[in-house]
Structure 1
Amino acid sequence: MATAIHNFQFVVRLSMSNGIRRICRRAYSTRKLTNAEVRRKRVELFDAEKQRQLALVTRVEKIEVRHKGVPEECTLIMNKDLSTPFNCAMHIHELLMNRSALALVNGEPWDMHRPLERDCELRFLHFQDEDSRVLNNAFWRTCAFILGHVLETAFKDEYYVELCSFPPPNVSSGSFVYDAALNIGDWQLSQTELNCLSRIGYRLSYADLKIQRLEVPVSVADQMFADNRFKQEQVSAIAAKSKSGATVTLYRAGDHVDLSSGPMIGSTAQIGRYSVCAVHDIESPTFGKLQRVQGLALPTQLTMHSWTYDTILRPRAAKLNTGPLPEMRKTQTPKELPAP
């Protein structure tokens, strides 16, 4: 009898295909994943893809960049697919280098560290412009992106945080948002713990991390986010909406890489006060139970009395943000949370 059982087990082991074994190994490794390992993998893939794309530029071509605005209007001869608005600012004036958070290239919002592709007209945007709507949206988008960094680095290794997505910027809502599966059980974050999260974001201002944009093929994005069930589902849908139908736009600050259509501001040094204000449980029609993490921030260039910030704006930012729920949907009609 014992011999028969042994033979049966041997046959079962032999019958397992390589694919099933890979699935078993992957399931086991998923249980051992840490955010630090996943983030390290994403950065390595980001660097490799960036180097691959740079290697494709085998001939340096010159383009004409016409700068409009202060301190003077001028024309620069720059390098196609290599020079960025920030490089142009370096040639014009230190003032533009320090305060410019976004550029307009032929009237289109353009990241400060995104290479220029053709002859163009260039303008720089800063937070004290009379009309700062475009820049405000980029700032809030960047703050939500940074909130993803905070969530992936704040908890111990046993808590594997899976970022889902952040809704489009809506300054009038009072808070920027990142929806994620924190996987912390019934743990309700106290105000002290929220303050600790805030300090992680605030310290990035001193790190002065350049915020880089990179458009990558779907295959690269699939590798980067293979360990995140939410992002994995989003990659193909995002790529289908791109101009080529086969690429995804990524952003990187330090060791944090995430999906976003952008644009974003040029550096974390342009983020001044930064606060994580609240965590709310939400229910996504597609992704199930998630946590909506909400924050508030101010640009470095703008000042505000601490009483106004702490007494009026932070409590407002802590109320449930009724922005669109994260879901895979065919239509673009946003579904909103019920008003609190």
Structure 2
Amino acid sequence: MIKITLPDGSVREYEKGVTGYDVAMSISEGLARNVLSAKVNGEVWDASRPIEEDATVQLLTWNDDEGKSTFWHSSAHLLAEALEELYPGVKFGIGPPIANGFYYDIDLGDRVLGEDDLPEIEKKMSELAKNKSQFIRKDISKDDAIQYFKEKGDEYKLELIEGLEDGKITFYEQGNFVDLCRGPHVPHTGIIKAIKLMNVAGAYWRGDEKRKQLTRIYGITFPKQKELKEYLELLEEAKKRDHRKLGKELELFTFSEKVGMGLPLWLPKGTLLRERLENFLRKAQIKAGYEPVVTPHIGSKQLYVTSGHYEKYGEDSFQPIKTPNENEEFLLKPMNCPHHCEIYNSKPRSYKDLPVRLAEFGTVYRYEQSGELHGLTRVRGFTQDDAHIFCRPDQVKEEFVKVIDLVLYVFKALGFNDYTAQVSLRDPENKAKYIGKDELWEKAEREIQEAADERGLTTIRETGEAAFYGPKLDFMVKDALGRSWQLGTIQVDYNLPERFDLEYTGSDNQKHRPVMIHRAPFGSLERFVAVLIEHCGGNFPLWLAPDQIAVLPISEKYHQYAEEIYTKLGEKDIRGYIDNRDEKIGRKIRDAEVKKVPFMLIVGDKEQEDNQVAIRRHGKGDLGSMSLYDFVKHFHSESSLTEEEGAKFNV
């Protein structure tokens, strides 16, 4: 007998060779029907794979990310089986699960596969799925694996086998299809009920542009047709909210090939929105004891060699900038922190001076590959709401908690109410990726978890996601469509103070090393604005909207009254415009609705006579007529960030 420990801590005894499916059946038939795979001692296995010794076991269903991953991995194999039936001789690269669905890279020789071919492939996949073919795992020797794919004539699989060790190679078989794969897979193909192949793209073999370009087919599957329908509806909504589309329609930003790929140009309305965000955070930061600084867009190469950024970001940085002096080399800065270290070092510091909190909206540059650029979410020049706190070791936890409060205040003000805190740790199996001593890493990781616990945050721990100089707390925010984005980060760093020889004089009159906390509630302004646009569909919070009002005179006769209204509202710090075009009022209202202007103030004969304005709210319609005084009261009650909200987060 062996002992199986379940996630709730309960321990059950089973005969040796029990499977995850057997364990599920012993709990309930309903659970067994939904099990896709099992996590055994931290590794995801087939639910049908025998367990030979005591183990901790988690049964994975569609509700678990790893369950979905298993489902989509099996769907990639189902796609490959369908392709082999439809196109004999097709050769296969890799077919992994991805964040939403799966893909398979294939070589069809001279045949070109297009979007029009996808429905036929979907149909064949559905037909094969109904066979309920089991996914059968087989251990195989390296020689036998090579022999199989030599006979099949698939050079891509042969190349993959080259890097594998004998005794660790497995095949998976379902129906008439066999693939080189380490798994895991769902019990049988019949579980895959709803199938949609999304698109066809080109992909170089192993990501090398000097190798052959293969055809990549993307798809997604679900256990129920209803879930596929909901997903496709969500995609349509996401298209409407695409920040690139709305950014153009709302005249927020643009790109120019002459300026350069990945370098956004902020238009007047977008600049207003961006400045409002900056001013909002700047005000909160000053209240929280931060001091503003400004640093250059370039720095000596030696600065980034000292910090370690040149070694880590050298390949992703723009090439060194030469000067008339051949001994000088500068870089466009990839990070602000080395500059802030030098500001800290600009004068002697005492323990009484700490913490020192330096804040900057600093633009940094990284040379992202052109294929990875995407609107504002992936750019080559972006502005971080960067700040660095230099504190004593005994102040780390308190300062970290205060930064958590600031991040939560930002999220609350902008309507991001669904988030998870991710404790990002280094990978103990790959310490060469990181700088610094083990004991400092362990101390920093412990302090981050304690601070998160003190604020009652729901946390997940992710190994291998730390920055190269220290662990961090990343905030994973869900938008209105349920998509997860990484926004806001806080990092504890014992290493840069060491590399820059930062010091302060302690109460014992001896020199001590400060601890550095990196933080950016927005992360980058560009990415934050992109996520915000898609989250609210361009309907920004009233206090943030570039145009808050549109004054719409019914005809030229009321232009002067419209001007008086507009001027008085401007004095109350309410922004917008007057639409004096020679158009009917219906057209003016429609255009203001398209621009997502929160309030439309319509003025005509009755309004001028009664000294009032007729109010329409975007998306809600007519609010009736009111005096300007009452409108301003209504406006500010809707737009203000109250002191109570700020106090709640210690801001």
User: What TM-score range do you get, normalising by the shorter chain?
Assistant: 0.5 to 0.7
Listed as ranges, the matches of 1:1-340 within 5 Å are 63-66=1-4, 68=6, 75-80=12-17, 83-128=18-63, 132-155=64-87, 157=88, 160-166=89-95, 168-171=96-99, 174-185=100-111, 187-191=112-116, 193-226=117-150, 227-239=153-165, 245-284=166-205, 285=208, 287-300=211-224, 303-304=226-227, 306=229, 308-309=231-232, 312=235, 338-339=371-372
* Aligned partner of residue 164 in structure 2, secondary structure: helix
Distance 1:310 1:102, change over 3 A: same
Contact in 1 for aligned 2:172/2:179 (Cα 8 Å): yes
Distance 1:120 1:294, change over 3 A: same
TM-score by length of 2: 0.34
Structure 1 residue 294 displacement after superposition? 1.3
Contact in 1 for aligned 2:78/2:129 (Cα 8 Å): no
Contact in 2 for aligned 1:105/1:123 (Cα 8 Å): yes
Gaps of 5+ in 2: 240-314, 316-367, 375-651
Q: Distance in 1 between matches of 2:46 and 2:103?
A: 21
Structure 1 residue 222 displacement after superposition? 1.1
Distance 1:313 1:118, change over 3 A: farther
Q: Distance in 1 between matches of 2:182 and 2:228?
A: 33
Distance 1:104 1:283, change over 3 A: closer
Larger deviation, residues 257-266 vs 94-103: 257-266
Query: 1:14-52, CA deviations, whole angstroms, 9 ceiling, x for partnerless residues?
Result: xxxxxxxxxxxxxxxxxxxxxxxxxxxxxxxxxxxxxxx
Query: 1:239-263, CA deviations, whole angstroms, 9 ceiling, x for partnerless residues?
Result: 3xxxxx5431222222211122222
Aligned length in residues:
241
TM-score by length of 1: 0.61
Amino acid at match of 1:68: L
Specify the structure having the higher radius of gyration (Cα): 2
Q: Distance in 2 between matches of 1:337 and 1:113?
A: 44
Amino acid at match of 2:33: N
Structure 1 residue 184 displacement after superposition? 4.2
* Aligned partner of residue 207 in structure 1, secondary structure: coil
Structure 1 residue 99 displacement after superposition? 0.9
* Aligned partner of residue 180 in structure 1, secondary structure: strand
* Aligned partner of residue 214 in structure 1, secondary structure: strand
Q: Distance in 2 between matches of 1:313 and 1:179?
A: 26
Q: Distance in 2 between matches of 1:102 and 1:153?
A: 27
Amino acid at match of 2:6: K
Amino acid at match of 2:4: R
Distance 1:337 1:96, change over 3 A: farther
Amino acid at match of 2:226: T
Distance 1:90 1:307, change over 3 A: closer
Amino acid at match of 1:139: F
Larger relative contact order (C-alpha < 8 A, sep ≥ 6)? Answer: 1
Structure 1 residue 310 displacement after superposition? 6.2
Query: 1:296-319, CA deviations, whole angstroms, 9 ceiling, x for partnerless residues?
Result: 21234x833736526827998xxx
Contact in 2 for aligned 1:296/1:314 (Cα 8 Å): no
Q: Distance in 1 between matches of 2:11 and 2:129?
A: 31
Query: 1:64-118, CA deviations, whole angstroms, 9 ceiling, x for partnerless residues?
Result: 1426369x966343233xx422233344432232111111223332211112121
Amino acid at match of 2:98: N
Distance 1:149 1:109, change over 3 A: same
Q: Distance in 1 between matches of 2:104 and 2:119?
A: 17
Gaps of 5+ in 1: 1-62, 240-244, 317-332
Larger deviation, residues 290-299 vs 208-217: 208-217
Aligned-residue CA RMSD (Å)? 3.2
Contact in 2 for aligned 1:127/1:135 (Cα 8 Å): yes
